[in-house]
Amino acid sequence: MTQDVLSALQTAQSQTDTLTAALIEALNATSVRQRIVVATGPVTLGAQTATAATRDAVNFAVPAAGVSFVWWPDQSPALVGWGGVSFYSTAVDRDVPLNELAGAPGDVFRQRVSLTVAVARSTPSLPGYTTSPALGSLSPLVAGGLRLTHYAQLTAGAVFVRVDDPNPASAASSVHAAPVVGLSVDLALVSLFQTLQSP
């Protein structure tokens, strides 16, 4: 009798272990994790969407640096470096590959598109004209960005520069917006270091 009870308990334990292992394996599937996060909000199950609460990896705004081509009308493009901040309309988790972003198409779009406000490291020159910073000692740059990888973006916008009147007798100047297109990097440093240190 006792032997039968022990045998039944061992069988039940074995079945429980098998079911538990199967459940864990199912939950670890990427598609299941994504559906759980979308349905329930902030959870931690490995790969996560932008609603997860890992604040080192998830943020609405991050420092950014980039290099852009400046196009003046009828002039060859010139390079300008800049630094600033990229703003997203939703939290962005750098641990989630772009092809695994979950949610409605609009949510995925918001996780990839940003608005960058920056300052050019130097004032773009315009041949034949005298240029100077548009705002005090700063040349503001505003651009939209599209994430191409975890950290890199394609950016396009404008840099604002003050241009003096070419007439030597005139002290007038005006602010001009020159189109810029280039690449930038979101400097989510904590997440980046964690990625580099991971095996």
Q: So where are the chain's domains?
A: 1-40, 47-197
Q: Which residues of 164-176 are buried (b: 16+ CB within 10 A; e: fewer)?
A: beeeeeeeeeeeb
What SS3 class is residue 130? coil
Report the amino acid identity of residue 42. P
Q: Which residues contact 37 (CB under 8 A, 6 or more apart)?
A: 43, 45, 48, 49, 51, 52, 102
Rg over CA atoms, the chain: 26
- Per-residue pLDDT tens digits of the chain, which is 199 residues long: 555 545 654 554 555 556 555 555 654 554 444 443 343 333 333 334 444 443 445 678 889 999 999 988 877 888 899 999 999 988 887 778 888 887 788 888 888 999 999 999 988 888 878 888 888 889 999 999 999 988 899 999 999 999 888 877 778 888 989 999 999 988 865 555 555 555 5
What SS3 class is residue 160? strand
> What is the value of pTM for the model shown?
0.62
